[in-house]
Structure 1
Amino acid sequence: MSSDTASRTLSLPRWRSLSADETDCRLSLVLEDLPLVRLRLERGDDLNIHLEYLCSERPEQALWAACYWLFARDPGCQRLHWHLVEEPVAALASGLLVRAEQVGRYRCERSLFWQLPQPWLGDALAAVYPQQMQITAGKRHPLRAPKARGEVYRRFDARVGAWISLRTLEIDHDLERFNRWQNNPRVLNFWQEGGSLEQHRDYLSKLEVDPHALTLIGCFDDEPFAYFEAYWAKEDRIAPFYPVDDYDRGVHMLVGEETHRGPHKVASWLSALVHYLFLDDPRTQRVVAEPRADNAKMIGYMQDQCFYCEKEFDFPHKRAALMMLGREQFFERCKLV
């Protein structure tokens, strides 16, 4: 980070751009012409933060924005050490800050920060759905919450300089796009779900009423580029092949637009998809996938995002690789910016 004073901007979820005046030892943030926070920074083995000004109208938003800025500017930074005169009650309650041993000292841990559901989930955020077990088709599993509708996740990814968002698929709006993607020879080779518009309407209609599946459209800067199926693994065909937990989530992934292929784009959307699934229910401890075992490129992309291959196994229609990523591993090695 340069020692010269610089004015920079960083887009924030559901906010206008956040402006900063920043040096090696000072940081001032302004949001929508409102001064948010002014900090003195002490750099060494740890980053120590001394508060000089905090907006009284938006105190927690100001603390959150400062943590976000510092983590986003330095992906290698794992914790921030705050020195505060007054106890940050709301920030402690949310998990944004954690008390340190010394009086007036608090920590912000990167692994905790990215588990805070807001502002990433927006209006999709709801309380944790209560647990009641039930049996469906001989499988015992928790009753699932009603499925979300509309946009469920949004975040600005500085690595690609674009908004990455997820919204639920709407059949009438997305059918032709889905049909075109599935009939792409590259996609057809792995999904084997080519067909007519009516066949795909039937395919999506069945998933729409299936409580264990959620169909999603991935967008960069609100331009649709990918289709994802998120599913509860306990009720899925994958369940017999490993010791599945009640809240494990699985994913099927399809990038339909050629302009949004490539390792840098995969790193953005795959981390966003996994982030959403871990935030959607804090009881989810693992995200799993079962790509074809010979799909070395996709398996490699997943391993770059900390997935590991548990084993290979045989589905009736393919030889699959069981890919897994745990919550703790994802947030401890968090590459989000």
Structure 2
Amino acid sequence: MQSLNTNVLPLPDGQTLRATRSDDRVTVALESQPLMQFRLSTTELGLAVSVLEYDASDQRQAVWAACYWLFANHPECSKLVWEGLEAAPELLRSGLVAPSSAADDTLQSSRTQFWQAAGPWVRTESSAGYPQVIVMNNGVRFPQRPPKPIGEVYRRYDARLGSWISLRTLDVDADLERFNRWQNMPRVEEFWEEGGSLEEHRTHLQALAADPHCLQLIGCFDDEPFGFFDTYWAREDRIGPYYESDHYDRGIHMLVGEDHHRGPHKVASWLPALVHYLFLDEPRTRTIVSEPRSDNDRMINHLQRVGFHRQKDFDFPHKRAAMMALTRECFFDRCTIC
């Protein structure tokens, strides 16, 4: 089982989760406040967590902190098996802890459930719970979409890279020159085919900003912008007619502009973060799709590593595309976020 041995995990609110080891014990603390002390062992079911003591004033926070540190340090671990933990009803309702399928009253925490909880990573009001009102446009029925967020929407410390990965909404004025430079780079233009002048790109971005079916995001490592992500609701998008789209399916277009942030190790950070945000933003989203050019082998391989499946190749009016699809179940079952 992979272990990262990370003892410090900064949180988006400025606080820090810390873990200290003494003999065979691990103590997890928020800043200087100890939350839980436990022993670890490996079983066939996953990591066994033997609780020695915890902060009884906030059991949910103590268990969440232990889960975060353990899943971040053991991203391949799919399950934690608790020993010595008596879960309060509130903790069980949170989904952080659930009874196992065995008949022995064992409690467990799954990676799948943990990373589906919004936690502190979503930084703005999400689309979750926005009332469903069906509208129709151009013969397509789809839910009325919520207002777009503004500013930072997602932030998480990547323990593998030792860097913050964050997503913020695009600001046309602040990001125009950067977007123009990226789109005119030969390696980008080869696949995006959207090179042009500043004014052409301003007009293009303003049109996207006014379109309720898409949201443009800037990806950052340690607050340095590195890429542009165009996300969209698939039902009313041009891709909608090419597959059986659900009301809340979303799609992604991806561009890494800064050369020093390229490479598989960086994609392994930003691509799961992008997908993670979209699934957290709207719990009714069951599938995320992408349609890279069918000969863009590098991007297709990156998508497949995260769990996207190549369903088919098909002809858009402007390109031969590969239909890539990732289900919520597959992502959270296989994700190795850390």
Q: Please indicate the TM-score interval, normalised by the length of the shorter structure.
A: over 0.9
| 2:143 aligned residue | 142
CA separation of 1:317/1:14 partners in 2, compared to 1, >3 Å: closer, same or farther? same
| Alpha-carbon distance in structure 1 between the residues aligned to 2:8 and 2:103 | 34
| Amino acid corresponding to residue 91 of structure 1 in structure 2 | L
Give the drift of 1:163.
Answer: 0.7
| Amino acid corresponding to residue 331 of structure 1 in structure 2 | F
Which runs of no fewer than 5 residues in structure 2 stay unpaired? none
% identical aligned pairs = 54
SS of residue in 2 equivalent to 1:243: coil
- Verify: 1:88 aligned to 2:88, yes or no: yes
| Alpha-carbon distance in structure 1 between the residues aligned to 2:124 and 2:150 | 10
| 1:163 aligned residue | 164
| Amino acid corresponding to residue 252 of structure 1 in structure 2 | H
| 2:325 aligned residue | 324
Give the drift of 1:104.
Answer: 5.9
CA RMSD of aligned residues (A): 2.0
| Amino acid corresponding to residue 55 of structure 1 in structure 2 | D
Give the drift of 1:57.
Answer: 4.5
SS of residue in 2 equivalent to 1:335: coil
| Alpha-carbon distance in structure 2 between the residues aligned to 1:225 and 1:292 | 22
Give the drift of 1:23.
Answer: 5.9
Which runs of no fewer than 5 residues in structure 1 stay unpaired? none
SS of residue in 2 equivalent to 1:40: strand
Query: 1:175-202, CA deviations, whole angstroms, 9 ceiling, x for partnerless residues?
Result: 1111111111111111111111111111
| Alpha-carbon distance in structure 2 between the residues aligned to 1:297 and 1:24 | 45
Aligned residue runs from structure 1 range 53-68, under 5 A: 53-68=53-68
SS of residue in 1 equivalent to 2:267: helix
| 1:334 aligned residue | 335
Q: Which deviates further from its counterpart, 327-336 or 118-127?
A: 118-127
| Amino acid corresponding to residue 72 of structure 1 in structure 2 | A
| 1:77 aligned residue | 77
Q: Which deviates further from its counterpart, 244-253 or 86-95?
A: 86-95
Query: 1:89-142, CA deviations, whole angstroms, 9 ceiling, x for partnerless residues?
Result: 222112111123567632101111110011110333464211111102221101
SS of residue in 1 equivalent to 2:116: coil
Query: 1:301-331, CA deviations, whole angstroms, 9 ceiling, x for partnerless residues?
Result: 1111111111111111111111111111111
Q: Which deviates further from its counterpart, 68-77 or 39-48?
A: 39-48
| 2:117 aligned residue | 116
Aligned residue runs from structure 1 range 92-111, under 5 A: 92-100=92-100, 105-111=106-112
SS of residue in 2 equivalent to 1:75: coil
| Alpha-carbon distance in structure 2 between the residues aligned to 1:93 and 1:127 | 18
| 2:21 aligned residue | 22
CA contact (8 A) 1:231 1:251 kept: yes
| Alpha-carbon distance in structure 1 between the residues aligned to 2:278 and 2:7 | 31
SS of residue in 1 equivalent to 2:220: strand
| Alpha-carbon distance in structure 2 between the residues aligned to 1:301 and 1:126 | 27
| Alpha-carbon distance in structure 1 between the residues aligned to 2:49 and 2:120 | 23
CA contact (8 A) 1:151 1:168 kept: yes
Structure 1-normalised TM-score?
Answer: 0.93
Q: Which deviates further from its counterpart, 18-27 or 71-80?
A: 18-27
CA contact (8 A) 1:95 1:112 kept: yes
| Alpha-carbon distance in structure 1 between the residues aligned to 2:23 and 2:306 | 31
| Alpha-carbon distance in structure 2 between the residues aligned to 1:93 and 1:255 | 40
CA separation of 1:175/1:47 partners in 2, compared to 1, >3 Å: closer, same or farther? same
CA separation of 1:190/1:7 partners in 2, compared to 1, >3 Å: closer, same or farther? closer
Query: 1:253-281, CA deviations, whole angstroms, 9 ceiling, x for partnerless residues?
Result: 01011110011111111111111111111
Aligned residue runs from structure 1 range 211-290, under 5 A: 211-290=212-291
Structure 2-normalised TM-score?
Answer: 0.93
CA contact (8 A) 2:52 2:84 kept: no
| Alpha-carbon distance in structure 1 between the residues aligned to 2:6 and 2:271 | 31
Q: Which deviates further from its counterpart, 88-97 or 48-57?
A: 48-57
CA contact (8 A) 2:232 2:252 kept: yes
CA separation of 1:85/1:322 partners in 2, compared to 1, >3 Å: closer, same or farther? closer
Q: Which deviates further from its counterpart, 97-106 or 58-67?
A: 97-106
| Alpha-carbon distance in structure 2 between the residues aligned to 1:225 and 1:29 | 33
CA separation of 1:205/1:294 partners in 2, compared to 1, >3 Å: closer, same or farther? same
CA contact (8 A) 1:24 1:41 kept: no
